[in-house]
Structure 1
């Protein structure tokens, strides 16, 4: 029975992905391109060309951190969709306190990462306060706080006493922070001609740790209990406010850590070791999609983040084929839908079987 169910899942996922790829190919052809050229461009830009798979892994790291934080909040039954703002505020905290403290070398890198977590957690904490003090739905407050956070960071980038770099360090750019010194950056060792930032190992370790904590610890069990049945959880002694607020703030902390990683990791189109307008570049939204596609499983989020990062890094090569590079966003949307269809189909099938079994008993 179990083996048959696994086969059903694999067949559904296989058919859904094939359908998504077929639709993507038809869309490329309809826009005047050649789908084979687009596929080759995506592969060249993400893995095949020299240095590209290192670029893809570096891009996947912050996506994975955001996804891991999202999984924590979802397990508690909370819907955090403000990761983009939490990431940006975390990066702003990391920038401000990184230059304020200015410790030596890698010690300051650790401080940057810590303050990134603090910034993201505090910003998510605003939503937690509204949720558990005034019963404001977190799905609404976290989303609205994205805009507020963006405006606050924009204000900070306009003030020299906050984030704005001195005039001599800005060159011809108007609103940028100072650039991190060489010894205040995350290590990026070279492996087979690819620079692999330390953030990759950090994000994978975070996914493994969260997966273990949620599945194998009492705290994780209580959090999952709260997410599945809050009333039973409260009767069992699980404090809804304490666990819920902690989960939401942890989700923000991981998003803030992603922002700090993007700042200290540099490269990978993340601002070149300084905070700039548009710094988040939709990494928060993409990380949310990674968690959604991974069905709130931390370990599954690792390969999903790599796939999404590959689409992102490969998109820069698609333009050479004569097709608009943004076509990869549509392909990404098709893949998201494809990976969400099988759970829906299985749910409907299980419900139909349960009803049939009940009818037979009657």
Structure 2
């Protein structure tokens, strides 16, 4: 029969002759479903948030650059000069960021050039552990905003053991780490117990505990005979003893220490805990719906306390590595270095997923290491890096905006599943089309 015919969907015939059912080829639909899941998931939103934040940072770099300001005065006469100045300012800034965070291609040898990468990994080490703690609390339906207090409690415990005791090498370090982890767990456990027994909101409790920990540590550091260094008038502890210092991974030339490997182990442990253990299932259950979890037989108050204690233990690991990574100096009340709150950003950017937290921490460690190089070589205000980090949080908190900018599909939109059709139905459909 002449004329155009409608294209038909490729089919796969099951064994069994002409009477067997024919199923449409689902290979294309499977690839489409996989692509749909990738672009509609949280990973795409996080990546889009980073891209938008970097673009916003580029605009700020261009507006604050003196060369761009000078060339823009005669923009309508010679617009090419302004565009060239913008490219030079933005390109130079991010090139300096790369040199300070990943690899310094101006260095004389590879050993010197790779030093920025080790510095980024060092900055990322406490962020990984603290971000895991905040992410675990998120998965359990709680907002642990007390990273500052838990890190300070861990720093006080680990630091006290680190300089006040004489223990054998190896044992001293392990004891100091354990005491720091337990101190962070205990400090977070206070909020967990109050929430489980009285219903107190963990956000309010952990914020108040931040102030308690800060002023308590300040008092201990300013009081002779407690944490203050003997003979010193400054609120600072004595240096850690050599047996309690985290050993270097790549030698004394680099700042990277054993804490980085401990943070990587924590990523694996938290992944297993959340995805392969009964305790992790209980955490996720109360995070999704505590009432349904209670009906399913989960002891919600006990699980709430356990989740907060585990979260505090991970943040305590971050505080302990901060203190025990110091080689020649003691620590003060500023040992947190903003990590307690940066961990919230890392957990959000990583989607409360251990692997995502790892990559988000590496990104923020690179920002911190490269920001100083960018400021020194290009005279870019260091505050721009902080603005970029804040914008990442802003865009992460507004997924519809990111999806609208990059035209990402909504996560609940799914491709229809292929239907099984019999040979008789396909013959009837073909006859109608003709």
What TM-score comes out, normalization by structure 1 length? 0.88
Shift of 1:338: 3.9
Report the Cα distance in structure 2 between the residues aligned to 1:62 and 1:5, rounded to whole angstroms. 34
- 1:194 deviates by 3.9
Conservation of the 8 A alpha-carbon contact between 2:395 and 2:401: no
Instruction: Give the match for residue 345 of structure 2.
Output: 289
Counterpart of 1:210 (choices 256, 270, 275) is 270
Question: Aligned-pair distance for 1:351?
Answer: 8.4
Task: Measure the CA separation in 2 of the matches of 1:88 and 1:35.
Answer: 38
Q: Deviations over 1:32-66 (max 9, x none)?
A: 26222221221122122331111111111110000
Match in the other structure for 2:100? 45
Match of 1:317 among 373, 392, 417: 373
**Structure with more contact order per residue of length (Cα contacts < 8 Å, sep ≥ 6):** 1
SS at match of 1:160: coil
Q: 1:181 to 1:11 in 2, by over 3 A?
A: closer
User: Structure 1 stretch 330-339 or stretch 3-12: which is displaced more?
Assistant: 3-12
| 3-state SS of 2:102 partner | helix
Name the CA distance, whole Å, in 1 between partners of 2:44 and 2:310: 36
Q: Mark the CA change 1:11 to 1:289 in structure 2 (over 3 Å): closer, same or farther.
A: closer
Which has the larger helix fraction? 1
CA–CA separation in structure 2 for the residues paired with 1:11 and 1:222 = 28
1:113 paired with 2:167, answer no
Alignment deviations for residues 239-278 of structure 1 (CA, whole Å, 9 cap, x no partner) = 11111001101111111111110111127xxxx5522131
**Cα deviations by residue, 1:274-299 (Å, 9 ceiling, x for unpaired):** 22131111011111211111111011
Structure-2 separation of matches of 1:133 and 1:18: 43
CA contact (8 A) 1:113 1:257 kept: yes
Q: Which among 46, 67, 72 is matched to residue 136 of structure 2?
A: 72
Contact 2:173 2:244 in 1 (8 A): yes
Preserved CA contact (<8 Å) 2:101 2:366: yes
Report deviation, 1:352. 8.2
Q: What residue in structure 2 maps to residue 334 of structure 1?
A: 391
Aligned residues, how many? 346
Aligned to 1:158: 222
**Further displaced range: 14-23 or 175-184:** 14-23
Q: 2:34 maps to which residue?
A: 3
Distance 1:351 1:212, change over 3 A: closer
Offset at residue 11 of structure 1 (A): 6.4
Tell me, yes or no, if structure 1 residue 148 matches structure 2 residue 205. no
Q: Which runs of 5+ in 2 are unaligned?
A: 1-31, 67-88, 105-111, 415-434
- Counterpart of 2:421? none
Distance 1:353 1:11, change over 3 A: closer
CA distance in 2, matches of 1:331, 1:129: 37
Q: Does 1:28 align with 2:61?
A: yes
Q: 1:14 to 1:293 in 2, by over 3 A?
A: closer
Q: Specify the alignment match of 1:98 in structure 2.
A: 162
Matched, 1:200 2:231: no
Name the CA distance, whole Å, in 2 between partners of 1:39 and 1:154: 38
- Give 2:297's aligned residue: 237
- Report the structure number with the largest CA radius of gyration: 2
Distance in 2 (CA, whole Å) between partners of 1:228 and 1:353 is: 21
C-alpha spacing 1:141/1:200, structure 2 compared with 1 (3 Å): same
Deviations 1:101-126 (A, max 9, x none): 33122211111111111111111122
Deviations 1:81-138 (Å, cap 9, x if unpaired)? 0101110111001112333433122211111111111111111122122212222100
Deviations 1:126-168 (A, max 9, x none): 212221222210011101211111000000001122100101x
